[in-house]
Amino acid sequence: MVKSKRTGIGLAVIAAALSVAAPVHGAPARAGIEELTPKTFGKEVLNNEKPAVVMFYTDGCPYCRMMQPIFEDVCSDMRNEIYCAAYNTEQENDTLSQTYHIDGVPAFGFFYEGETDRARWIGGAVPESVLRQRIRSFARSHTAD
C-alpha cells in the first residue's frame, strides 16, 4: 500500500472509499435532496423562500460520489433551515455551468432570494465538518432570529 507522506493515509484506502460510495444520479433522496434540471433550477432554488445549497456534480466524478452521502447527512440534519438540491452539469441543455462559472465538481453553491455570493461557494471535496459549518453559517445568516 502506498501512503501519503503528509497524511499517512494509504491510497488504496482512499480508492476503496471512492469505489463504494453511491453515485449521486439515481440515488435515493434520503434528505429530500431534489434533482434539478435547467428548467426547475429557477423555481426551486432562486425563488425558494429558504436559503438554498446546490451540489453541482457529474456522474463520473469520484469526489462527487464521496461527497454525496456527506451532503445528504448535513442536509438531513438541517432540513428545516435550508433547501438542498443536486444538479448534474452534464445534462442536456445545461446552461447553469456557464452562468455560475462552474469549472470543477463537486461544487457547492449558496443561493438566497435569487442571488448568490461566489465567495461562499465550496469547490472540491472537503471534510464533513467544513461543509456542515459553512452551510450552518449560511443558513443562520439568512434566517430571522
DSSP 90-138: TSTT--HHHHTT--SSSEEEEEETTEE-GGG-EES---HHHHHHHHHHH
> What is the number of structural domains in the chain?
1
Q: Looking at residue 103, which CATH number applies to its domain?
A: 3.40.30.10
Asked if pLDDT for residue 52 goes beyond 60, the answer is yes
Mean pLDDT of 12-25: 43
Mean pLDDT of 36-57: 95
Mean pLDDT of 35-53: 95
Spatial separation of the C-alpha atoms in residues 42 and 44, rounded to whole Å = 6
Flag whether 62 is in a domain.
yes
Asked if pLDDT for residue 127 goes beyond 90, the answer is yes
Which is more confident, 125 or 117?
125
- What's the count of helices (H) and strands (E) in the chain, helices before strands? 5, 6
Flag whether 101 is in a domain.
yes
99, three cell numbers: 452562468
Asked if pLDDT for residue 18 goes beyond 60, the answer is no
Instruction: Give residues with Cβ within 8 angstroms of 105, minimum separation 6.
Output: 56, 57, 58, 61, 63, 64, 89
Q: What range does the domain containing 45 cover?
A: 23-141
Mean pLDDT of 87-111: 93
pTM of the full predicted structure? 0.78
